[in-house]
Amino acid sequence: MSSTDQTPERLYVAREPIFPRRVSGKFRTLRWWLLAICLGIYYLLPWIRWDRGPNLPDQAVLIDLANRRFFFFWIEIWPHEFYFVAGLLIMAGLGLFLFTSALGRVWCGYLCPQTVWTDLFILTERWIEGDRNKRVKLWNQKWDFRKARLRLSKWTLWLAISVATGGAWVFYFADAPTLLWQLVTLDAHLIAYSTILVLTLTTLILGGFMREQVCIYMCPWPRIQAAMMDEDTITIAYRDWRGEPRGKHRKAEGAEALGDCIDCFACVNVCPMGIDIRDGQQLACITCGLCIDACDEVMDKIGKPRGLVGYMALSDETRERAGEKPRSIWTHVFRTRTILYTTLWSAVGIGLLVALFVRSDIDMTVAPVRNPTFVTLSDGSIRNAYEVRVRNMQGAPRDFAITVTPSDQFTIEIEGAEDGVFTVPPDVTELKRVYVIAPPGSAPATAQTTAMRLWLEDLAAAERAFNDTIFHGRTAQ
Ligand code: SF4
Ligand code: SF4
């Protein structure tokens, strides 16, 4: 309660609806292009076919959860290669740090799904209800047939976009044409329908009704990025030393003392966040650049130089106020922090590329059987058992042999493979029980542990993989 008038403090302020006006200019054009590219990739990617032979899916990008594999064009990631996914996530994080530190909230303004879908929803809203003035009028008028018709048309279109968005997501997890047929014939798994439902509702609510509230109240990124930006970060600002004192009446007495800002509110009316960039740096500003386009349009009309609102580094403010030229953009972009991020990003990227090109398409993991640690055979030999997981990452069956080194100290037996050779079907992981035997009285049989190496060999391709493990002798507990 307020100490003076006892009026309860309001913890939640009702949302003021925002009706962004249409604007054109270079940043708007750039955003249209990015919107088309992002949506095009998202909706079309699962439909690109990629021939991988008879045993693998023909989908270029597929997250195969059932077989725990990820397909990306010619690259196939197996579960034991999760470090590729981890590496890509690290690169995405470092890339975000790099771009935020150099160019502020470019992610928020141009590529974030919330921004892209909100832009699409605003576009359809404008298409059905008209530009800002018509939408404001419609909002304020009483409900009648026309208002109901326009609202219903808009919501129907929003719902269609939302269903398409949720629907496209599930196509990344199964063969898209098959799943589409299953969905329309009501033959798909319940999980597919529930995923589409959840994503449809979230897209509709977040993109259609909550819009800027997601950025201001729900997303943690605006708070985190404050730690990544500094005075050299290029961001959007209003050049108040040029614009102030603002005023509309250019021809009035004393108008010559006014700055370049004619207080037309064009920059405010186009802002999807409903803020006034002239109030200074704000958490709500996603740096979408639309206020730059709007103000440049106005400056062109009144014959003043563009850039009253524009990208700039705050460290240039003093120079600009003094009428000096700002430093080159590269001076701001290339600094210790961004060079460090670029170096780390490149190092992880090069590491992943090297790992991708040197990886073998056979692989094994070895797990010693501990219960019991060893068995003494009737002739006094000591035998250890191992669970060997063999991966054939090719699209054809392959014959494998498992051997052991040092070969003069051990012999080997493979369960189910009398001659020591076994076949693994294409693209599967097979579990084999392998016995390693040390002769009676030999060094490994009497030592507590002996290091040894198990080899997996593709007999046709002469390709090998190995795994180091331990042999337990009879002194082991
Ligand atoms: S103030 Fe300008 S850059 Fe920031 S969100 Fe609004 S229109 Fe976009
Ligand atoms: S668009 Fe430019 S001139 Fe108009 S109010 Fe905004 S800053 Fe001032």
DSSP state of 278: G
Atom of ligand 1 nearest to the CA of 290: 7
Q: Where does a domain end: 177, 193, 225?
A: 225
Report the pLDDT averaged over residues 436-448: 93
CA of 7 to the centre of ligand 2 (A): 37
Q: Whose CA is nearest to atom 6 of ligand 1?
A: 271
The answer to whether the CB of 273 is under 6 A from ligand 1 is yes
Q: How confident is the model at residue 182 (pLDDT cuts 50, 70, 90)?
A: very high
- Which candidate, 376, 375, 378, 380, places its Cα nearest to that of 440? 380
Structure token pair of residue 120: 């699409």
Tell me which H or E stretch contains 142. Answer: none
What distance in Å separates the CA atoms of residue 142 and residue 146, rounded to the nearest whole number? Answer: 10
Q: What is the pLDDT of residue 253?
A: 63
Decide if 441 is inside a domain: yes
DSSP strand E in 259-361: where?
Answer: 309-313
> Per-residue pLDDT for 446 more than 60?
yes
Range name among 151-155, 230-234, 250-254, 397-401 with the lowest pLDDT average:
250-254
In a domain, 354, yes or no: no
Q: Residue 255 has what pLDDT? A: 66
Helices (H) and strands (E) in the chain, counts: 17, 14
Angle at 224 between CA 220 and CA 230, to 5 degrees: 145
pLDDT given for residue 459 in this prediction: 84
Q: Does residue 46 lie within any of the structural domains? A: yes
Q: Note whether 70 and 216 are same-domain residues.
A: yes
Contacts of residue 470, Cβ cutoff 8 Å, sequence gap at least 6: 368, 449, 450, 451, 452
In the chain, how many domains are there? 3
Ligand 2 centre to CA of 273 (Å) is 16
Please state, in angstroms and as integers, the Cα–Cα distance from residue 388 to each residue in 219, 321, 363, following that order. 46, 71, 10
What are the residues whose beta carbons fall under 8 Å from the beta carbon of 305, sequence distance 6 or more?
A: 299
pTM score: 0.84
Who has greater pLDDT, 131 or 227?
131
Inform me whether the pLDDT recorded for 5 exceeds 80.
no
State the pLDDT at residue 250.
Answer: 64
Q: pLDDT averaged over the chain?
A: 91
- What per-residue confidence (pLDDT) applies to 1? 41
- 7 falls within a domain: no
Same domain membership, residue 447 and residue 369: yes
Q: Does 215 sit in the ligand 1 pocket, CB within 6 Å? A: no
Residue 293 CA to ligand 2 center (angstroms) comes to: 10
Same domain, 397 and 417: yes
Q: Domain residues for 201?
A: 26-225
Please tell me the distance from the alpha carbon of residue 209 to that of residue 51, in angstroms, as a whole number: 42
Burial of 184 (0-12, 13-18, 19+ CB in 10 A): exposed
Q: Is residue 198 part of a domain?
A: yes
CA distance 19 to 12: 21
Residue 3 has pLDDT above 50, yes or no: no
Question: Helix or strand or coil: residue 319?
Answer: helix
Average pLDDT over residues 400-411: 92
**Same domain? 258 vs 307:** yes
What pLDDT, in 10s, does the model give residues 266-300?
999 999 999 999 999 898 999 999 999 999 999 99
The CATH number that applies at residue 388 is 2.60.40.10
d(CA 471, CA 465): 19
Whether 202 has a pLDDT exceeding 80, the answer reads yes
Whole-angstrom Cα distance, residue 120 to residue 211?
11
Element (H, E) at 465: strand 463-472
Closest to 225 measured CA to CA, from 98, 311, 87: 98
Assess whether pLDDT exceeds 50 at residue 103.
yes
Q: Which helix (H) or strand (E) holds 206?
A: none
Q: For residue 153, is it within any domain?
A: yes
Give me the percent of the chain exceeding a pLDDT of 90: 73
Same domain, 207 and 290: no
Q: How many CB atoms lie within 10 A of CB 51?
A: 8
Q: How far does the centroid of ligand 2 lie from the alpha carbon of residue 262, in Å?
A: 6
Same domain for 149 and 248, yes or no, is no
321 and 463 both lie in a single domain? no
Tell me which residue has tokens 């060999």. Answer: 457
Residue 145 has pLDDT above 60, yes or no: yes
Determine, yes or no, domain membership for 259. Answer: yes
Mean of the pLDDT values across residues 157-186?
96
Distance from residue 365's CA to the centre of ligand 2 (Å): 66
Task: Give residue 251's pLDDT band: very low, low, confident or very high (50, 70, 90).
Answer: low
Which atom of ligand 1 is the closest one to the Cα of 289? 3
Say yes or no: 217 and 271 in one domain.
Answer: no
Beta pairing partners, 366: 388
- Check if 271 has its Cβ closer than 6 Å to any atom of ligand 1: yes
55 and 142 both lie in a single domain: yes
Q: Of 134, 179, 313, whose CA–CA distance to 236 is shortest?
A: 313
In angstroms, the CA 266 to CA 309 distance is 11
Looking at residue 349, what is its pLDDT?
96
Domain assignment present for 318: yes
- CB-CB contact of 285 with 105 (8 Å): yes
Pair 218, 258 in one domain: no
Torsion, Cα of 230, 231, 235, 236 (10° steps): 130
Give the per-residue pLDDT at 2: 42
476, pLDDT greater than 90: no
Q: Are residues 320 and 441 in the same domain?
A: no
Ligand 2 lined by 266 (C-beta under 6 Å): yes
> Is the model's pLDDT at 257 over the cut of 90?
no
User: What are 319's two structure tokens?
Assistant: 């120079």
- From 188, 205, 225, give the residue that closes a domain: 225
**Domain end point (choices 281, 309, 327):** 327
CB 382, CB 404: distance < 8 Å: no
> Of the bound ligands, which one is closest to the alpha carbon of residue 273?
1
Q: Are residues 375 and 299 in the same domain?
A: no
